[in-house]
């Protein structure tokens, strides 16, 4: 799987970017929220140093240190040295992904035209940023999301590879990958470019701080942007590999993640006015449908467990919706995976 990923990244054609007719420089802030993963952060910095940045584009990196105790001494200096791009180090001691990403939004709104989010367990392909910009400038979209592909830290079990559970391709687990410039049904903050006038500050979209430790804050923010009439589209060549540590290559972790996804779905729907009773009823329906589909898939392809697990996803999301209706949530960001 990693060899295939390396090949896919290596053969990307260089992505041309057409700048606005005004001829002004396009300013981009690449924002990274980090906590407890110094090795991952330094690998990301080396990846950013290898970006092919189009002429007329100015890039700054903003690292938001979300460790209440502060990152290890010397990490900021080493990150600057490896990155090779202008880098600002911001401290956000309030533990939680929403707090960290909001700090990035506020900084970028003052200094850039676009903010690009990437995680500290990811590394960008050389044309990652150029591909996001090309689609953003060609479509005028409010946000552009790219594919996140897994790079397994240890050999992955067959069910993990077969099911494609660790990839995010803009269409959801059982959806079809969109084409360049097509609407992205699934948008996450691990690989996204957003126009900064829309976010941050007192009047822009922000990550909900109630979801600081549960996650799902990005799902909610992008749902709110869509509801306000802003378009979110896909860029196929904006590839970002993500390191999947051994601790995540377990079915228990995956079920917990899918349950949390259902939690988030219900939270977003509740924000839009859906009642808890209705959400619980829909959760029950999803659980039943997912269980039936999983059983059918297991019978049809007993040697392909990944196919049945892909249907368990629906059932687990339904369970998460029921959990939300009864006030139960999963704090996914309480534990740090990887280093």
- Residues 241-256 have pLDDT tens digits of 999 999 999 999 999 9
Cα–Cα distance between 45 and 209 in angstroms, integer?
27
Cα–Cα distance between 56 and 20 in angstroms, integer?
10
pLDDT the model gives residue 122:
97
pLDDT the model gives residue 18:
58
Residue ranges per structural domain of the chain? 2-246, 250-333
Pair 144, 58: CB distance under 8 Å: no
Is residue 138 scored above 90 in pLDDT?
A: yes
Average pLDDT, the chain: 91
Q: What pLDDT, in 10s, does the model give residues 57-67?
A: 999 999 999 99
Tokens representing 81 are 């040295």
Cα–Cα distance between 326 and 212 in angstroms, integer?
20
Helices (H), 15-92: 38-49, 75-83
Cα–Cα distance between 336 and 140 in angstroms, integer?
36
Cα–Cα distance between 325 and 21 in angstroms, integer?
51
CB atoms within 10 A of CB 49: 13
Is residue 307 scored above 50 in pLDDT?
A: yes
Domain 2-246: which CATH number of 3.90.1150.10, 3.20.20.70, 3.40.462.40, 3.90.550.10: 3.90.550.10
Cα–Cα distance between 102 and 157 in angstroms, integer?
36
Q: In degrees to the nearest 10, what's the CA dihedral of 315, 321, 324, 329?
A: 40
Is residue 44 scored above 50 in pLDDT?
A: yes
How is 57-123 classified by DSSP, letter by letter? EEEEEEEEE--TT-PPTTHHHHHHHHH-S-EEEEE--S-SHHHHHHHHHHHHHHH-SEEEEE-TTB-
Cα–Cα distance between 140 and 138 in angstroms, integer?
6
pTM given for the model: 0.89
- Taking alpha carbons only, the member of 126, 96, 99, 104 closest to residue 11 is 126
């Amino acid at each position: 799987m990693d060899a295939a990923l390396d090949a896919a990244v290596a053969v990307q054609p260089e992505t041309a970017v057409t700048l606005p007719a005004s001829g002004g420089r396009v300013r981009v802030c690449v924002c990274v929220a980090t906590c407890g993963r110094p090795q991952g952060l330094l690998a990301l910095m080396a990846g950013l140093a290898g970006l092919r940045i189009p002429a007329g584009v100015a890039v700054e990196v903003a690292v938001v240190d979300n460790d209440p105790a502060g990152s290890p001494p010397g990490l900021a200096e080493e990150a600057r040295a490896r990155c090779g791009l202008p880098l600002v180090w911001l401290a956000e001691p309030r533990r939680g992904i929403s707090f960290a990403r909001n700090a990035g939004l506020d900084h970028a709104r003052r200094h850039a035209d676009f903010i690009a989010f990437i995680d500290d367990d990811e590394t960008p392909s050389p044309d990652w940023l150029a591909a996001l910009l090309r689609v953003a400038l060609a479509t005028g979209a409010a946000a552009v999301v790219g594919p996140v592909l897994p790079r397994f830290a240890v050999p992955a079990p067959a069910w993990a590879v077969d099911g494609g559970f660790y990839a995010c391709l803009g269409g959801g687990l059982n959806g079809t990958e969109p084409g360049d410039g097509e609407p992205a049904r699934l948008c996450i903050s691990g690989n996204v470019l957003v126009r900064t006038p829309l976010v941050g500050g007192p009047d822009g979209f922000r990550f909900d701080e109630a979801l600081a430790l549960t996650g799902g804050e990005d799902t909610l923010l992008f749902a709110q942007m869509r509801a306000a009439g802003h378009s979110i589209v896909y860029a196929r060549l904006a590839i970002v590999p993500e390191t999947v540590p051994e601790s995540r290559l377990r079915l228990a972790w995956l079920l917990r993640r899918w349950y949390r996804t259902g939690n988030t779905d219900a939270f977003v729907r509740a924000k839009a006015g859906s009642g808890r009773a209705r959400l619980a009823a829909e959760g029950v329906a999803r659980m039943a449908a997912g269980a039936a589909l999983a059983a059918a898939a297991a019978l049809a392809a007993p040697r392909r467990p990944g196919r049945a697990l892909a249907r368990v996803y629906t059932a687990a999301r339904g369970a998460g919706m029921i959990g939300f209706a009864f006030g139960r949530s999963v704090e996914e960001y309480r534990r740090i995976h990887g280093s």
